[in-house]
Structure 1
Amino acid sequence: MLPSVFSLLLLLVLKAPLNGWASKPPRVFLSYRDLMESRSARSFSFGFNTSDYRILLLDQDQDRMYVGSRDYLLSLDLGNINREPLIIHWPAPLNRHKECLMAGRGRADECYNYMRVIQPLNRTHLYACGTGAYQPQCALVYRGWRSEDYVFRIVSGSLESGKGRSPYDPKQENMAVMIDGVLYAGVQVDYMGTDAALFRTMGHKLPIRSEQYDSRWLNEPLFVGSLVVSESSFKEDDKLYVLFRERSLEGENGPAMLSRIARVCLNDEGGLRSLVGKWTSFLKARLVCSVIGQDGVETSFDQLRDIFIRPTQDKHNPLIYGVFTTLGSVFRGSAVCVYSLADVRAVFNGPFAHKEGHGYQMTAYTGKTPYPRPGACAGGFSVPGIRSSKHFGEDVLRFVRTHPLMYSSVYPVNRRPLLVLSDASYTYTSIAVDRVPAADGEYTVLFLGTDRGTVQKVMILPKGDNETEGLVLEEVEVFRVPSPIKNLRISSKRHQLYVSSDAGLTQLSLHRCSGYGDSCADCCLARDPYCAWDGKACARYTPSPTRRSRRQDVKNGDPLRQCRGYNTKVDRGVSERLQIGVEGGSVFLQCDTHSPLESVTWLLQREGSQHRREVRHTTDNTDPHHLTLPFTV
């Protein structure tokens, strides 16, 4: 008697599961070779013996990017960084180079002129500084009125000392920003690197610095970045915020590195008798970036590495994105935290920190606070009657000098990190942020540089009340020889990302839509807000009133709903296959996916039945892409 024969309809469903941790595999990984073959990137080749392409300045008005490296200043075309670059060779003087070597400073190639400051002075000139083989020097650089002028040279006779503007040691981290012709710099001031300060020099304002050799103000700081904010309609309230990390002495367990945000008033003129030539408005607060584990233990990411400032509709309240890492050797991780300047401002308006009692523990100051409130700007909204900081009373200056730290800490939006990277062999080093319009809303996309020389593109997906998830869309190797990423810059005008490291410079497009696959389902499952299915290919999405021929679902990544109606070749979202089986036998099923973000679910439907049930894997085969299904009636 012949065994009975029957048929089964097997429905294969592909879906993209939510991914909340950036340490999971990316949707697409591109090696350096793959990236170059995609024709979506350019690597800058510099024929001279140089390195350390750390300083990047984008000028989208002139369509140029200015780069500082070892002994060279570069002016590059934003559209094509290899198109006729303008080059200034600026080495340290030969005698200074020899003196540096004789002093024993040449073991790690320190005895060169490493560019550490490039800032726009006006429409036609830049101000640039370098380490000068442990003798910092600065100069004016003429760049012309327009990029078409094709001019780039150091102004004759403009060379001057860079003390208080550029570090001596190229390994030291510094910060510099030019505001109305005045340079503000966070820098080590002396040769030995023992005097760190927030300096104001140049221009029409009086030179001002932080208190010298006072650990309450700055204690071995490493400067990261800054932002300038108009706090109100009064120009007198304009402030500079500086972000850094430093060694803290307020903890119960001894010194620890903590992240800080400090602020000063731009119109600060110093004190009259006390704090002469010193900031009278300097205050600082701790930045907290931490996560509570399932065991209730809090893991803190205390090492601020890089920041990105994203403007909002309220110009007084931009968002601060920060990349943080851990310091310990037991746990190695990274996190991205986002801070609202409104929350920062609330901390600076709160209680001051004060040491008192047994063991001089840090507590909130409860005594009488002098008027005007320490840290306020003279002539501003809160201090209308006092036109200059030189008119502040001695009680105000004395309080500022001894109480620069705020008692409360600044916590991130929703009091949790936006993204956490854990259990990974690498850490994040740098960040750039883009806001991308899509068919179903506007999304935040993070570009994150790593210490293994790659850049990840991570889309932040809203997940409910004050919760988000991170989807790693892409990871690319951006240099032929892997090198930790130093800086990321985005040109919204050019839709390009610029990446620098010690090894070089790479320019790449913000999207590579064709890399997701050649079907509607591939494009939809990618959930990349830059990309949409246009009926023929996965291509860049641009907002358009005609959406019928465009398929994009960033929020859900649902090809079932988006990709119906296209031919079988491009309709991989739902695939139906009729399989004939013999009772008592078995059949081997296989499904190939294109991404680690896709999951496979096997559904079985008997002939003549409308009911479908999920088929689980057999005990000896747990690979979801393959299934051995026994046929039994």
Structure 2
Amino acid sequence: MSCWNPHVWTCVLLTLCYTVAKDTAPPTPRVQLSFEELKASGTAHFLTFLLNTTDYRILLKDEDHDRMYVGSKDFILSLDLQDINREPLLIHWPASQQRIEECVVFGKDRNGECGNFIRLIQPWNRTHLYVCGTGAYNPVCAYINHGRKAQDYVFNLDRGSVESGKGKCAYNPKLDTVSAIVNEELYSGVYIDFMGRDAAIVRTMSKRSAMRTEQYNSHWINDPAFVHVQLIPDSAERNDDKLYFFFREKSVDTWHSPNIYSRIGRVCLNDDGHNCCLHKTWSTFLKARLVCSVRGADGIETHFDELQDVFIQQTQDNKNPVIYAVFSASGSVFKGSAVCVYSMADIRLVFNGPFAHKEGLNYQWVPYSGKIPYPRPGTCPGGIFTPSMNSTMDYPDEVINFTQKHPVMYNAVYPVHRHPLLVRTNVNYKFTSIAVDQVDAFGVRYEVLFLGTDQGTVQKVIVLPKDDKETEELILEEVEVFKVPASIKTMKISSKRHQLYVASVSGVTRLALHRCDKYGEVHADCCLARDPYCAWDGKNCSPYSASSQTCAGGGT
């Protein structure tokens, strides 16, 4: 019997799903709070002032100005970080009525698509932000003056600065845009065209040439969903700085399973393209697959293919942050979510490894075994390995030709310890977002994960070492953060204020990172909760401090 007999394959999948689900049943949360219970606790604040708007998904935290900037449909908000309902500042920036009518004529939905959905808010300088919206399928961008100091209490859109947002923000509000401004240059992962078919990684607002990934080349990017972008230095040499893009995309091999791949791609900041064949096109773009999977007893891997969110945890070494990523399973039979953790050392190892190459009668992917041209494709000019190269324009034609044909690395990036940090199966939700906080208590540093779900809940989780090979996962709490459940789109954490800011289509909630009194009123209950934010102060379960008497996460 063929191993690809559909009945046999379905049985294998069902057996595998049952095994994973059985082995990864989540622990019971120490505390569970409904929306009303959370509200009654006094540890959460919900955006209460009324606006005729929806789709609060873009959050930019500004600790220096004590503000949280929020993008929604037709509005940009400036909220007080400590009290999101205290004297909010608003900018109403709708599309013109004429543009809305034109959008409707094109067959788009008046309410769900024909508005100015804010999709980009980036700091420009000490006094201004740069913002972009979909503009009722006609992207627009502008500058906002937010003042030099928090006391200025300024929040004004510079109407004279309004300009086209093409190449900076998607036309379709359902297509996410990721962006970063570095040295007054805007880097975006964006769909450029009205039809939503031309996706690219783009550099605009530059004194240099605008740059993009090669157009309509499915081997570069293929129908991607952009998730995150982050500048991560490679060395002490600034010329080696690279921008990393996280996204998921459709496989170019339609016969291949899975048909969705999660990716990490990168470009050099000082990439100027080349006159040979990549004019105004990245000459350093490379990408690799991000794998998050569970290996069964029989050696078969169950993959979580769809990247949902990424959180970059900075360390003392800015070249080596820790990367937390949330994935979901894409199959119709197997459903679940997982969190995987990646190291930059492993990522760089893959980008320094073999390139993927197609050869043979069946055009199978194999590691490229021929001569690699110098400088190695993907390296930056003027860096540690290319000190004599001032620009990618100086690269030999053979380097550019190789890069154009080999943008994919053969090896995949696997998580630390080759398995997920935590897995969820056999549950009625999936993870959609993540934020991570570092907590020091009783001489130990804890990584506390806040995980948003498509059901509008937030789980607070820690994973503790159990022995040399195993870990123990604790769900410290699970809370409903919106009155009407809605998928959580974005979360931002303020360790300084011990607050978590959560956004969905329906609103914004500011949530305290701990509710110690909810664990109980006696010493044992407090300590058994093992929450690193909490400790027994002699009378109550209270927020941990240096003078706390016992427990704090560890137990006794």
With the shorter chain as reference, the TM-score category is over 0.9
Partners of 2:118 and 2:25 in 1: CA distance: 33
- Once residues 113 and 324 of structure 2 are traced to their aligned partners in structure 1, the CA distance between those partners, rounded to angstroms, is 32
- Aligned-partner SS, 2:160: coil
Separation of aligned partners in 2, 1:44 and 1:187:
29
Aligned to 1:165: 168
State the TM-score, normalized to the length of structure 2. Answer: 0.94
Matched, 1:243 2:231: no
Are 2:77 and 1:74 aligned? Answer: yes
Distance in 2 (CA, whole Å) between partners of 1:127 and 1:296 is 49
Match of 2:437 in 1: 434
Q: Which of residues 348, 366, 369 in structure 2 aligns to 1:363?
A: 366
Q: Equivalent residue of 2:101, what SS?
A: helix
Question: 2:553 matched to which residue of 1?
Answer: 554
Q: 1:136–1:167: 8 Å Cα contact kept in structure 2?
A: yes
Among 131, 134, 138, the alignment partner of 2:134 is: 131
- The structure number with the bigger radius of gyration is 1
| CA distance in structure 1 between the aligned counterparts of 2:26 and 2:176, rounded to whole angstroms | 28
Runs of 4+ with deviation above 6 angstroms: none
Shift in Å at residue 101 of structure 1?
Answer: 0.8
Deviations 1:240-269 (A, max 9, x none): 000000011247636711100000000001
TM-score by length of 1: 0.83
Residues 434 and 31 of structure 1: CA distance in aligned 2, closer, same or farther (over 3 Å)? same
1:104 equivalent in structure 2: 107
Q: What residue is the counterpart of 2:280 in the other structure?
A: 277
Q: Secondary structure at the match of 1:397?
A: helix
> Residues 581-610 of structure 1, C-alpha deviation per residue, up to 9 Å, x if partnerless?
xxxxxxxxxxxxxxxxxxxxxxxxxxxxxx
Rounded Cα–Cα distance in structure 2 between residues aligned with 1:391 and 1:196: 28
| In the alignment, structure 1 residue 505 sits paired with structure 2 residue 508 | yes
**Do residues 343 (structure 1) and 346 (structure 2) align?**
yes
Q: Deviations over 1:294-341 (max 9, x none)?
A: 454321001000000001222211111000000112111000000001
Alignment of 1:211-226 (within 5 A): 211-226=214-229
Cα shift readout 1:94-118 (whole Å, capped 9, x = no counterpart): 1000001111101662000000000
2:465 maps to: 462
Secondary structure of the equivalent of 2:525?
helix
Q: Give the percent of matched residue pairs that are identical in Structure 1 and Structure 2.
A: 56
Matches of 2:332 and 2:286, distance apart in 1: 32
Cα pair 1:269 1:390 within 8 Å, conserved: yes
Which string of whole-angstrom CA distances, capped at 9 and with x for unpartnered residues, describes residues 133-169 of structure 1? 0000000001000111111011131000000000000
Match of 1:484 in 2: 487
Alignment match, 2:153: 150
Letter in 1 for 2:478: E
Aligned residues of 2:103 and 2:110 also touching (Cα < 8 A): no
Letter in 1 for 2:359: E
Partner of 2:415: 412
Cα 1:397/1:124, change in 2 over 3 Å: same
> Is 2:532 the counterpart of 1:532?
no
Separation of aligned partners in 2, 1:496 and 1:328: 35
Match of 2:451 among 427, 445, 448: 448
Q: Is residue 257 of structure 1 aligned with residue 260 of structure 2?
A: yes
Rounded to whole Å, the distance in 2 between the matches of 1:191 and 1:132 is: 12
Measure the CA separation in 2 of the matches of 1:302 and 1:106.
31
Question: Could you tell me which residue of structure 2 aligns to residue 29 of structure 1?
Answer: 32
1:175 paired residue among 169, 174, 178: 178
Contact 1:22 1:470 in 2 (8 A): no
Matches within 5 A, 1:278-357: 278-294=281-297, 296-357=299-360
For 2:257 and 2:459, locate their aligned partners in 1 and report how far apart those are by CA, in whole Å: 36
Q: Which amino acid aligns with 1:461?
A: L
Aligned to 2:404: 401
Is 2:47 aligned against 1:44?
A: yes
Contact 2:355 / 2:368 at 8 angstroms: preserved in 1? yes
> What is the alpha-carbon distance in structure 2 between the residues aligned to residue 182 and residue 495 of structure 1?
32
Q: Secondary structure at the match of 2:161?
A: coil
Find the aligned partners of 2:500 and 2:119 in 1 and give their Cα distance: 21
Q: 2:551 corresponds to which letter in structure 1?
A: Q
Task: Give the Cα separation in 2 of the matches to 1:27 and 1:394.
Answer: 61
Query: Which secondary structure state, in structure 2, belongs to the residue aligned with residue 524 of structure 1?
Result: helix
Distance 1:34 1:199, change over 3 A: same
Partner of 1:188: 191
Residues 21 and 495 (structure 1), Cα distance of their counterparts in 2 relative to 1, 3 Å cut: farther
Q: In structure 2, what residue type is equivalent to 1:159? A: V
Aligned residue number for residue 65 of structure 1: 68
Residue matched to 2:16:
none
Amino acid at match of 2:128: H
- Distance (Å, rounded) in 2 between the aligned partners of 1:262 and 1:299: 23
Matched position secondary structure for 2:100? helix
Q: After superposition, what is the alpha-carbon deviation per residue over 1:188-208, rounded to whole angstroms, capped at 9, x for unaligned?
A: 000001100000001333211
TM-aligned CA distance change 1:40 to 1:464, over 3 Å? same
Q: Which moved more, 1:402-411 or 1:176-185?
A: 176-185
Q: Distance in 1 between matches of 2:525 and 2:273?
A: 61
Relative to 1, partners in 2 of residues 1:293 and 1:108: Cα closer, same or farther, differing over 3 Å? farther
Displacement of 1:21 in angstroms is 5.0
- How many corresponding residue pairs? 535
State the distance in 2 between where 1:426 and 1:254 align: 24
Counterpart for residue 213 of structure 2: 210
State how 1:371-410 maps to structure 2 within 5 Å.
371-410=374-413
Amino acid at match of 1:119: Q
**How far does residue 508 in structure 1 lie from its aligned partner after superposition?**
0.8
Match of 1:230 in 2: 233
Distance 2:217 2:299 in 1: 37
What does residue 4 of structure 2 align with? none
Please tell me the residue identity of whatever aligns with 1:409: A
Greater helix share, structure number: 2
Pair 1:393–1:196, CA change in 2 (3 A): same
Q: Is the Cα contact below 8 Å between 1:21 and 1:471 reproduced in 2?
A: no
Give the aligned CA root-mean-square deviation in angstroms. Answer: 1.5
The structure whose RCO (Cα within 8 Å, separation 6+) is larger is 1
Give the CA deviation at 1:230.
Answer: 1.4
> Which amino acid letter does the alignment assign opposite residue 535 of structure 1?
G
Separation in structure 2 between the aligned mates of residue 251 and residue 313 of structure 1, nearest angstrom:
43
Aligned partners of 1:477, 1:22: CA distance in 2, in Å? 21
Q: Name the SS for the 2:37 alignment partner.
A: helix
User: Is 1:520 the equivalent of 2:523?
Assistant: yes
